[in-house]
Amino acid sequence: MKKFLFTILILAGIVFLGWQIYQKVSNSRKNVPGPAHNVSVAVEVAPVRIGTITEIGTFTGSLYPFSEFIVAPKISGRLEKIFVNIGDKVESGQLVAKLDDDEYLQQVIQAKAELEVARANLQECKSNLEKAEKEYKRTFALWEKKIASESQLDAAEAEFKSQQAKLKVATANVSQKAAALKGADIRLSYTQIHVTKNNNTGFRLIGERFVDEGAMLAPNTPIVSVIDIEKLIAVIHVIERDYSKIKVGFEAIISTDAFPDRTFSGRVIRIAPLLKEKSREARVEVEIPNPEKILKPGMFVRVETEFDKHEKATLIPVEALIKRSEAQGAFLADLQSQKARFIPVKVGIVNTIHAEVLDPPLAGLVVTLGHHLLEDGTPIIIPGEKPADTKTGVEKDTSPVKRLTGEDKS
């Protein structure tokens, strides 16, 4: 029994001690000042203005030559001479390299000799055919007069037809040898390696050189690359969000770190009809005239193109846009009541400086700094503004407001 009473006393003591602690904590909390909803918040404001806003898409990419191809031999052989080097300007059809042609030259000589033999054989066949034809006609006349026998006529006719067949074979052999000579001439011409001929009037340069003189080359071994830099192609990749905005024919402004103080103009010429599954991006090509030849393939570039442009739009600084309870809006500064009013807005074009307000109609001043401390109806103070007259409640000097609400020419 005594043990039970002792336990009850201990529990009562613990409860009393806990109550005392609770009372002290409650009193201390009451003494801590809570958020003062009536305390004015210093803010910065900017005027709502009417002006023009553009939506600019900014992308990065690389420059590529307008055209590029590899010069390579069609036959095997030893590279005897190369006439160009990196950076040399080349024309259409220009000789750039030469292979050792001794073997192919010998093949041409042999083909010519075989053709001559075939032509001589043809002449012999023609002569034999004429003799066989005359003999056949003479035997036929004698056969009609009953002087020559039937067997003699048959023999003369067989010889005539045999010579006709031999003539056809000799004629075909001449054609064959002529084709062989032409093939040998073509193979010999392949030892002279030229730049491809076409109607391109661009500015062609040797981009790379892959081999040196004396190297043994197999067919299609690269010798040099030829690039055209009269125009360049900037390749950028556009994500899904911007894919529907960009169109063929859009003007573009190109900048590069190689020339930080200059920009170059271009035009969108091709848009891929698909997006890569892994990156969800589409390839877009921008053509850039390069009359000064200062832009080079491989340079990193930034490309800006105008997606849209709205004139006479209602504009607020982009810093004024905030979210409250999942609603996007801005705090409008009410100078009469010196309070901030939260206005949900529907925005259009948003760039790095301004945001377009589509709805509702907006005018006056918006808070650009300090709105993270505001709620709808919070009193505000504009730094630099003098306090109101204590008797009339009218501000003595509103020069900062006048400065901010004045006509914005920017």
Q: What are the residues whose beta carbons fall under 8 Å from the beta carbon of 185, sequence distance 6 or more?
A: 108, 111
Which parts of 102-245 are beta strand (E)? 192-194, 204-209, 216-217, 224-239
Range in 22-26, 170-174, 250-254 the model is least confident about: 22-26
Q: What are the residues whose beta carbons fall under 8 Å from the beta carbon of 207, sequence distance 6 or more?
A: 65, 68, 86, 224, 225, 226, 227, 297
AA letter at 28: S
pLDDT at 22 over 70: no
In angstroms, the CA 173 to CA 227 distance is 46
What would the pLDDT profile of 134-150 be if each residue is shown by its tens digit?
A: 888 888 888 888 888 88
Band the pLDDT of 343: cuts 50, 70, 90: confident
What would the pLDDT profile of 377-408 be if each residue is shown by its tens digit?
A: 888 888 766 544 433 333 444 333 333 333 34
304: left (phi over 0), alpha (psi -120 to 50) or beta: beta
The average confidence (pLDDT) of the chain is 84
What would the pLDDT profile of 186-242 be if each residue is shown by its tens digit?
A: 999 999 999 987 766 678 899 999 999 999 999 999 999 999 999 999 999 999 999
In angstroms, the CA 141 to CA 186 distance is 53
Give percent above pLDDT 70 in the chain.
84
296/5: higher pLDDT: 296
* pTM of the complete model: 0.66
Structure tokens at 318: 């982009």
| pLDDT confidence of residue 247 | 93
pLDDT at 168 over 70: yes
Calculate mean pLDDT across residues 243-256.
93
Structure tokens at 117: 């033999």
237/370: higher pLDDT: 237
**Adjacent-strand bridge partners of 54:** 309
Give percent above pLDDT 90 in the chain.
46
80/375: higher pLDDT: 80
pLDDT at 253 over 80: yes
pLDDT at 42 over 90: no
